[in-house]
Amino acid sequence: MRAMVYRGPYRLRVEEKDRPAIEHPNDAIIKVTRAAICGSDLHLYHGMMPDTRVGMTFGHEFVGVVDEIGPSVRNVQPGDRVMVPFNVYCGSCFFCARGLFSNCHNVNPNATAVGGIYGYSHTCGGYDGGQAEYVRVPFADIGPSLIPEWMDDDDAVLLTDALATGYFGAQLGDIVEGDVVVVFGAGPVGLYAAKSAWLMGAGRVIVIDHLDYRLEKASSFAHAETYNFGEYDDIVVHLKKITDHLGADVVIDAVGAEADGNILQHVTAAKLKLQGGSPVALNWAIDSVRKGGTISVMGAYGPMFSAVKFGDALNKGLTLRMNQCPVKRQWPRLFEHIRNGYLKPSDIVTHRIPLEHIAEAYHIFSAKLDGCIKPLIVPNPA
Amino acid sequence: MAYTADKPKLAESSDELRTRIPGWGADLDPKDRPSVPKERFDPTLNGARWEFPERQPEKWPRERSIEHKFLTPVFGTSCPPKGLSGMIRRYSYRAYSEGRAAHWLLLLAADRVDAVESTLASFLTRHPDNPITETGVLSEFTHHGLPSRLRGKRVDRGHHLLDPVLVAAPWVLAGGAVYLALRRVAGRRRR
Ligand SMILES: NC(=O)c1ccc[n+]([C@@H]2O[C@H](COP(=O)([O-])OP(=O)(O)OC[C@H]3O[C@@H](n4cnc5c(N)ncnc54)[C@H](O)[C@@H]3O)[C@@H](O)[C@H]2O)c1
Ligand SMILES: [Zn+2]
Ligand SMILES: [Zn+2]
């Protein structure tokens, strides 16, 4: 089969690879119909995530058709159209039994701190991902769901991570009616988080980025008030000014490890890998949220330490909430919101690129060229 | 205002927001949201029919965190460790927990070694690495590279040039080393 393969930082190619096989009785093999590139994939692509091996196939956002099932699989059948959460999880461990699907203890031998994620380095379990023609899906009775008939593949693939994560991020903000919500980052996760904040009754939603084309999307898609931090000497002071010097009730970090805005933080983290991630947006969140407020961190950081301003988080009495998103928990409600017309996930898709050209897709998404917000990957273009 | 007791007034009331924004308030009740409460005990919820999953066969000694009691019943089988990078990885897993910086720094070092090893090995195959196609850099010409980078107040412009330097450095160094080695060999022959 054809599959994307990592060759080293900033380099990947499409190769002929063996088709994945059933390795456990509850495995299924899925024939991928649509995949996507996530902001998280960029951390791998840039060589920031420890134990990212040459030869691995990335991709944790994908949907497809069941091609083959292991002997114990009952909930899906060959031929079913399924969507697969980015979490690999067993359904039965201490954490899964409590709904913490992203924190499963039975699927990742390489680390106890993080669960299993498709195509996301060995630190997340060493599973090949879905930017390929076929992918192995463990615990096929637990994670995958049938795609509702009324839903198209483009919307379904966005539900496997980006939309569920943005929605989860807004929930971790514990938003109450009338809250002022600031979202750092106008990528897919930030756009969906901003949109979701309104569902939870936010009174004002402000999105911060430095890419004007993404901020335009934040205003048209997520009805947000937007500011380009590149135009301000100090974005924290600006946020204080526009919130009556109180600060925001809730701040969502939808940027993560490669945050820009402070060259020292960015270069030491993203280029030199001397810290787990560049906490520029997280530190801005700590500074711009009001005392007693809540920060929801959706941006991903590496397992190493980062230079976070912890003292002021304490001084301000903040609540910091965060996790990898337990995707399937969000689905029933998100299906309703999509059906009701409150959300149209595929509105943020800018590029549909054949698997054979995935190296260009990564470059375009990584360098933020061509107005790119969300690129989808099509393994077998008709 | 922060200096007095009341919350600053919002520009729009809830009713105005409800008419302007589709779905506003659909999840208004903080208790009625899918991720609330954080932990919800329900072992049958997920459809698992096992108390502990069957074990996937271990086809090679699978490296694992020493914070785990045993090899997890299911695991990924992409890219078994190999070469020098594989030795560094195995050592890092064997010697250090996730709590130690050495663990992660060794794994990152192994990643760099892996890239060099694999690139060199690729030259002995019919699919040598090609930095031009693999970086996707040609999309700069087909997808508005320069105009995209120059538009608006992008703050990342300051380090755009670092990316090609990071990518090219190992190739330039390797090229230089090969050149020097060849020159030395040639020089010896002439003498
Ligand atoms: N927790 C989870 O389950 C989960 C799931 C998916 C993605 N993520 C993480 O969420 C983050 C965002 O993902 P994405 O797909 O939207 O990525 P993306 O790269 O498309 O978006 C990030 C955005 O942040 C902007 N940005 C950079 N520095 C900033 C700063 N200091 N302030 C404000 N904006 C800044 C960038 O210009 C970009 O638009 C990534 O770190 C990703 O790894 C986490
Ligand atoms: Zn992701
Ligand atoms: Zn589990």
User: Per-residue pLDDT tens for A338-382?
Assistant: 999 999 999 999 999 999 999 999 999 999 999 999 999 999 766
Percent of chain A with pLDDT over 70: 99
Cα–Cα distances (Å) from A114 to A111, A125, A325, in that order, read: 6, 9, 12
Q: Decide if pLDDT at B191 tops 80.
A: no
Specify the pLDDT at position A382: 62
- Domain containing residue B123: 62-150
Confidence at B176, pLDDT banded by 50, 70, 90: confident
Domain A2-161+326-378 CATH superfamily: Medium-chain alcohol dehydrogenases, catalytic domain (3.90.180.10)
Average pLDDT over residues A262-274: 92
Tell me the nearest-neighbour CA distance from B183 into chain A, angstroms.
Answer: 29
Residue B34 lies in a domain: no
Q: Give the three-state DSSP class for A52.
A: coil
Taking 90 as the threshold, does the pLDDT of residue B42 lie above it? no
Q: How confident is the model at residue B187 (pLDDT cuts 50, 70, 90)?
A: confident
Judged by average pLDDT, the poorest of A313-317, B4-8, B66-70 is B4-8
Residues of A within 8 A of B154 (CB-CB) are: 210-211, 230, 368
Q: What is the mean pLDDT of residues A70-89?
A: 98
Q: What atom in ligand 1 is closest to the CA of residue A324?
A: 3
Which residues contact ligand 1 via a Cβ below 6 A? A 38-40, 42-43, 161-162, 165, 184-190, 208-211, 214, 229, 254-257, 259-261, 280-281, 298-300, 324-325
The closest ligand to the CA of A166 turns out to be: 1
Q: Are A221 and A347 in contact (CB under 8 A)?
A: yes
Q: What is the pLDDT of residues A216-256, one digit of tens each?
A: 999 999 999 999 999 999 999 999 999 999 999 999 999 99
Residue B110: pLDDT band (50, 70, 90) is very high
**What does the pLDDT look like over A6-60, one tens digit per residue?**
999 999 999 999 999 999 999 999 999 999 999 999 999 999 999 999 999 999 9
- Alpha helix (H) ranges present in A21-138? 39-45
Residue B189 has pLDDT above 90, yes or no: no
Asked if the structure places residue B82 within a domain, the reply is yes
Three-state secondary-structure class, residue B102 = helix
* CB < 8 Å & 24+ apart, contacts of A228-236: A228/B152, A228/B153, A229/A261, A229/B155, A230/B152, A230/B153, A230/B154, A230/B155, A231/B153, A235/A208, A235/A261, A235/A284, A235/A288, A236/A284, A236/A287, A236/A288
The answer to which of A196-200, B24-28, B178-182 has the lowest mean pLDDT is B178-182
- For the whole model, what pTM was predicted? 0.97
Beta bridge partners, A378, equal A354
Asked if residue B44 has pLDDT above 80, the reply is: no
**For residue B177, what pLDDT band results from cuts at 50, 70 and 90?**
confident
Residue with tokens 């933080």: A265
pLDDT exceeds cutoff 80 at B190: no
Whole-number average pLDDT of chain B: 93
Interatomic CA distance for residues B42 and A36, integer angstroms: 32
Q: Which of A285, A321, A319, A323 is nearest to A301 (CA)?
A: A323
Q: List the domain boundaries for chain A.
A: 2-161+326-378, 165-322
What's the domain count of chain B? 1
Tell me which chain A residues have a C-beta less than 8 angstroms from the C-beta of B96.
none
pLDDT on residue A289: 98
Q: Taking residues A141-162, what's their average pLDDT?
A: 97
Which CATH architecture is the domain A165-322 placed in?
3-Layer(aba) Sandwich (3.40)
